[in-house]
Amino acid sequence: MSDSATEAGNDRVAEIFAAARGAGRHLLSEVEAKAALGAAGVPVTPTRLADSAAEAAAIAGELGYPVVLKVVSDTITHKSDVGGVELSLDDAAAVEAAYGRIRAAVEAAAGAEAFGGVSVQPMAAAGAEVIMGMTQDPQFGPVLMFGLGGVLVEVLKDVAFRVVPLEPHDAAEMIREIKAFPVLEGYRGAPPADLAALESILLSLSDFAEAHPEVQELDLNPILARHDGATAVDARIVLTPA
């Protein structure tokens, strides 16, 4: 991004962080996290908050079908575990029904206060699932992670780390370092993933981490890596406590 675009992006990110802190939260909602990352030049699916079934359907109509609904919650870490995610919703009726199911499931599993509406986003084109993230190391400051994404990431631990700031060759090397790299090269006839797009996101995250030391933890999981680009379909940002 150009310097002025970077500056405007940084201002937008600071506003989003300040708003969350103003509401007493240091875990950002998916909508906030994606807005902040989008402002930093990371490709994310456009994602908006809906507080009612009708609003969800209206947003879905604007974004275009099919869409995904996910619960917005300050307390739930793994949304799909509590029935908080509905995929491939093709029309307004399906969206409204899904809204009701998510609300009922989340309230049953975690109580009424756990439900804070839903996020609405277009269903992203399929691709290889990768994860990128950042955390603050007590000795070395921000470190970035890249790995094969999805729900098994902590079991398989097929990830690579680098310390911020990253050079382009660091981004290229960490992508090629994971055991599952052949999957990204085009496994069993699948087209190869757009590695340049993935490298570019890692470098944007490195800049993001440097510009915003108040980010304590960050996950983009998954990022769908297609042959022509890559998009983060879920995002989590935790700010430092104070």
Residues of the shown chain interacting with other proteins in the complex, contacts defined by CB under 8 A: 27, 77, 131, 133-135, 137-141, 143, 145, 147, 153-154, 157, 159-163, 167-170, 173-174, 177, 203, 216-219, 221, 236, 238
Strand pairing category for 235-239 and 229-232: unpaired
- Closest approach of Cβ 210 to other proteins, in Å? 12
Is the bond preceding residue 66 a cis peptide, omega within 30 degrees?
yes
Taking CA atoms, 122 is separated from 200, 206, 234, in Å, by: 23, 27, 12
Q: φ and ψ at 112, to 5 degrees? A: -60, -35
Tally of residues, the chain: 242
Burial 172-184 (b: 16+ CB within 10 A, else e): bebbeebebbebb
